[in-house]
Amino acid sequence: MGAAILIAVLAGFLIPHARTALVGALVLTGATIIFAVAATWRLRPSWDADSWPEQSSDGAVIHRRLRRIWLAQCTLAPLLIAGGIWALIEGRAVGVLWIGIGAFTLYTATSGLKRMQAATDPPGTPE
């Protein structure tokens, strides 16, 4: 999966140039397909089984993952908002969209963190 991500990033450098734009688009498409196949193989290493492997539903693990995701969103949302302001200063209308997405991301992340902190015990803790 890491190789597919690296290939996709490198293809992104080919797309802006007129001579290599088509090649870059094709490489990006291939990298996306490779990434999807790799992600599927990571979850299902053998096609002999009749069903997908059982996923862990441990509440404490899910609680930690959600907290990390929301903290990352709280970190990245101001960057989106700042990028939107910069785009508006440069005269690009897409800045309004960036500001809106950043504000919505910041709102959902902070409200999720507040709800998580208001909970007395994380899910899955012994009583």
- Tens-digit pLDDT profile for residues 86-126: 999 999 999 999 999 999 999 998 888 888 888 755 555 55
Q: What percent of the chain has pLDDT over 90?
A: 35
Domain coverage including residue 14: 2-43
| 104 & 77 share domain | yes
13 belongs to a structural domain: yes
Question: How long, in residues, is the chain?
Answer: 127
The CA distances from residue 95 to 74, 84, 108, in Å, are 19, 4, 20
Task: Reply yes or no on whether the pLDDT at 79 is more than 80.
Answer: yes
| 106 & 72 share domain | yes
Q: Quick one: pLDDT at residue 16?
A: 87
Q: How many CB atoms lie within 10 A of CB 102?
A: 21
52 belongs to a structural domain: no
124 belongs to a structural domain: no
| 39 & 79 share domain | no
Please, are residues 29 and 37 in contact by the beta-carbon 8 Å criterion?
no
| 10 & 38 share domain | yes
- CA 73 to the chain's CA centroid: 10
Cα–Cα dist 121/110, whole Å = 19
Cβ neighbours for 98, distance < 8 A, ≥ 6 positions apart: 80, 81, 83, 84, 87
| 67 & 107 share domain | yes
| 64 & 33 share domain | no
| 76 & 36 share domain | no
| 114 & 63 share domain | yes
Q: Helices 59-89 and 94-118, interaxial angle, to 10°?
A: 150
**Single-letter amino acid, residue 62:** I
**pTM of the entire structure?**
0.52
Q: How many CB atoms lie within 10 A of CB 21?
A: 12
What's the structural domain count of the chain?
Answer: 2
- CA 106 to the chain's CA centroid: 15
